[in-house]
Amino acid sequence: MECYSEQKVSMFVDGELEVEESQHLRDHLAACSHCRRLLDALRAENRVLSESLQELPEHEFSLVGPFRSPWSIGWADVAVMALVLTIGSIVAPWIDHLSIPEALQWLNPMSLSGRTNLFFNLSYYFAHGGAAMLSDYAAFVGGLLLFLLLGGGVLLLGRRWRLQQPGLRMLTVLLVFSLPGFALERRHSEIVTVAARETIDDTLLATGNIVRVEGVVNGDLLAFGGTVEVRGTVKGDLVSFAKRTVVSGTVEGNIYDFSNSLDLDGQLGHSLYGLMQSLDVNDRGRVGEGVVVAAGDISLEGEVVRSATFYAGNTDVSGTVGRELTMAGDNLILTNTARVGGNLSARVRQLKNVHIADGATITGSRDIQLRVKENHFTRPKFYFYQAVWLAAAMLVGWLGLILFPGFFQASAHAVGSGWRSFGFGLGVLAGVPVAAFLIAITLVGFPVSLMLFAFYLTAIYLAKIWVGAFLGQKLLKPTEANKSDWLLGLLVGLLILTVIGFIPYLGGLVGFVVVCVGLGAFSWQLYRVSRRVITT
Amino acid sequence: MEAEEGIAVVETASPEPSPLGAILSTEERAQVRDAIARLPENYRVPLVLRYYGELSYDEIAQQMGLKKNYVAALIFRAKQDLRRKLSHRSQ
């Protein structure tokens, strides 16, 4: 007769075997001296355990760890959220004074000027969307909750599913972030037209082969299409993803353009930021503030009131730049009619590619430099930025450890699975943008898609932290699993990753693998947690 | 830190050791507690709930949101880990 496993005998000692199995084991024990000895040893062990723990003073109950009952109200979460909001609103003006490059400003979640950020603009949307928006939102959330209650209630009765904290948190965050989406008016058809006499009060999200605005959009215009034309007026920003974008009317805010080509014939109130193949600012075109654009070809015939920064293969300027003109690229041509109100600085590969006509007016200095590959290791700034990055990553690691201790450590631990994490991470890395795009074009999911994408970028950032923590743990092998050791491990791991990142080619490859593995570990952990949430 | 505190408390707080307590010296009990404190969280929690809180596997499973089988495996692995930790110490 085969002996029982140690785990089975251990469960027997704990009185956790089913009646039938217990009986079988008892029968076996009568005949097997080996199992009897095991049984005695395990009983003795249990006594030692109970004995040792018996004298555990009340305050040492922390040994049990931070497990909370699944349905406890997360007051701590509310407090943390409130704290983040408070700190955010205090720090926001200060951050605004930092000289973050303007092109990046709209990505800054705490920016007061950036109008596309979600978090701190809730108040803006509340103020402008008014009660109509709120009732829309309440109806949607109410419906969703009803659905969840009905569906969840049935399942809860069967005690088959349990929606626990992670799921609840995720849902809350998604709902909160989807809020601004309700200030959107959505239009989707082959040709989307805002007629000349029409006025749209909200932000307009338009997708279609041709998106044409002849009337007035009081909010922002978010346009995805083959051709996007603004002949009328957009009072907010224009965000355009299109093959061709033509602005012959007026955009009073900023333009963020990711098109194949952008023609600006009309008036732009603030600034233009973009990434495109070609940019034409025609002689009737006027940019009220600055321009920061990366493009293949740039032609400036009109006026830029403030400074212009171009990263371009070819830059032709025959119009006016009110202040500095900064350019990096291959060819720069300033014709006789060109006027630059400030300094001209250009970085090109060859000096003969710069043509400045004699008639061109440049008020400030001319600074033409050849672009040579500079070794960034010699610049002190470089080390400063690395240190800042490292400090920020440590801070994030520390916060994560405090807010979600189990999850953060488990994610770092899951990195150890190597290939599984890598494969999983690769899939997530490639799949999420596709999913975000698919969700976005269903229109209803636009805010969810934005949220998903933000989540994705955050996870990519965190990937390095988890891999770093894992690496540090492996190297230091701390005997005590406490927080300061974990953070020390994180520091060591991040330092190693940073140094490896400097190795040409290999560094990039390692970076890619790190992102994949970290992302995979995170997704795996998320999957495990969600499986725990949906226990059958 | 926890161990030192543990010893101090134990010496004052155990006036009448049980027969088995006499076999296991105060210091040994503190060592066991210390080793338990150093277990990873997912091992430590079910172990303490079982042998200090005297909960059944089912109750632990419910509290931690896990399946019973998984709790059994965790407790088993916790004991193995504990044995390893304690044998290292005695060497």
Extract the residue ranges of chain A whose pLDDT is less than 50.
59-73, 100-123, 125-126, 129-131, 156-164, 178-182, 535-536
Residues of B in contact with A481 (CB under 8 A): 38, 40-41
Please tell me which residue of chain A has the smallest CA distance to B30: A52
Spatial neighbors of B37 by CB under 8 A, at least 6 apart, are: A63, B2, B3, B44
pLDDT at A307: 92
Residues of B in contact with A54 (CB under 8 A): 52
Q: Which amino acid is at A364?
A: G
Please tell me which residue of chain B has the smallest CA distance to A49: B51
B56–A16: do the CB atoms touch at under 8 Å?
yes
pLDDT at A320: 94
CA distance B76 to A8: 9
**What would the pLDDT profile of A143-202 be if each residue is shown by its tens digit?**
666 666 555 555 544 443 444 455 555 656 555 554 444 456 777 778 889 988 888 887
CA distance A296 to A327: 12
CA distance A114 to B73: 52
pLDDT at A481: 58
Of B51, B72, B76, the CB nearest to A50: B51
- Contact of A209 with A224, CB cutoff 8 Å: no
CA distance A347 to A54: 75
Of B6, B29, B49, the CB nearest to A51: B29
pLDDT at A17: 87
* Angle (nearest 5°) at CA B48 between B53 and B60: 65
pLDDT at A108: 46
Spatial neighbors of A145 by CB under 8 A, at least 6 apart, are: none
The secondary element (H helix, E strand) that includes residue A184 is strand A184-188
**What would the pLDDT profile of A460-509 be if each residue is shown by its tens digit?**
888 888 888 888 878 877 655 567 777 888 888 888 888 888 787 788 88
**What would the pLDDT profile of B11-38 be if each residue is shown by its tens digit?**
333 333 333 434 567 777 788 888 888 8
Exposed (0-12), middle (13-18) or buried (19+): which is A408, by Cβ within 10 Å? buried
Of B33, B42, B79, the CB nearest to A45: B79
Beta bridge partners of A204: A185, A221
Of A67, A405, A479, the CB nearest to B64: A67
Q: Which residue has the higher pLDDT, B52 or A334?
A: A334
pLDDT at A435: 80
| Chain A contact for B51 (CB, 8 A cutoff) | yes
Q: How many CB pairs under 8 A join A and B?
A: 100
B13–A57: do the CB atoms touch at under 8 Å?
yes
A535–B67: do the CB atoms touch at under 8 Å?
yes
Token pair of A76, please? 């701590």
Tell me the percentage of chain B whose pLDDT exceeds 70: 69
Is pTM beyond 0.80? Reply is no
Q: Over 70: is that where the pLDDT of B10 sits?
A: no
Residues of B in contact with A67 (CB under 8 A): 45, 63-64
A52–B13: do the CB atoms touch at under 8 Å?
no
DSSP 8-state symbol, A250: E
CA distance A462 to A393: 8
